[in-house]
Structure 1
């Protein structure tokens, strides 16, 4: 089975987590944490900074690794490294996503999370208000 390695930014501010809705591809309209594929020669942290700049037009500070998700989709195995991150500079501009929301504890499950991402959402309840 093909394996895809990606990184995701878990951005939490004022008790809310940032979620984005995919605007393209097989999983269009599903909700996820922003991020993307690691390119050859990049560290996961470098990839995450690049991906967030490309997707959201902001610079992030990458903190500690929250979790590594291993998930089998029908056509590939996903390894997703999820890093706690904070926005350092810029205002969010959606370049690839259809929508984005800041979700608190009461609405954390109000969006249709992609299967691999829902594994992380459960861990985030303690960070949210």
Structure 2
């Protein structure tokens, strides 16, 4: 099975406080409408952090600061294996403009379970909740 290496940003209001996180709904593909943490594929020669900065700039026209690794999710979808490095991040510059997603929202610890997360992304939610205020 083919492995797809990606990165995801758990963008929060503050890496220190983590009161709310930013989630996006996919705007295309097999999982259109499913909620995820924004990010994308790592290109040859990039570190995961460099890939994440590039992807968030491309998808959301925003410059982020990448914090610590939360976890690496390994998940088997029917046609590929996903390996996803997930990092705490915060906005440094920009307004999180949706270029590829159909919707987005800020979620709190109390509302994080209110969206239909994609299968790989939902495996991260409990770890995120544990660090949120």
How far off its partner does 1:49 sit?
A: 0.3
State how many pairs are aligned. 129
Unaligned stretches of 5+ residues in structure 1: none
How far off its partner does 1:92 sit?
A: 1.2
How far off its partner does 1:122 sit?
A: 1.0
Pick one of 18, 26, 30 that aligns with 2:30: 26
| Residues 1:69 and 2:73 are matched in the alignment | yes
| Alignment partners' CA distance in 2, 1:22 and 1:5 | 18
Pick one of 15, 20, 41 that aligns with 1:16: 20
The 5 A counterparts of 1:64-103 are 64-103=68-107
| Residues 1:38 and 2:42 are matched in the alignment | yes
How far off its partner does 1:106 sit?
A: 1.5
| Alignment partners' CA distance in 1, 2:21 and 2:116 | 15
| Alignment partners' CA distance in 1, 2:112 and 2:90 | 19
How far off its partner does 1:126 sit?
A: 2.4
TM-score, length-scaled by structure 2: 0.94
| Alignment partners' CA distance in 1, 2:107 and 2:67 | 20
Partner of 1:2: 2
How far off its partner does 1:121 sit?
A: 0.8
Unaligned stretches of 5+ residues in structure 2: none
RMSD of aligned C-alpha atoms? Answer: 0.9
Runs of 4+ off more than 3 Å? none
How far off its partner does 1:46 sit?
A: 0.6
| Alignment partners' CA distance in 1, 2:66 and 2:110 | 26
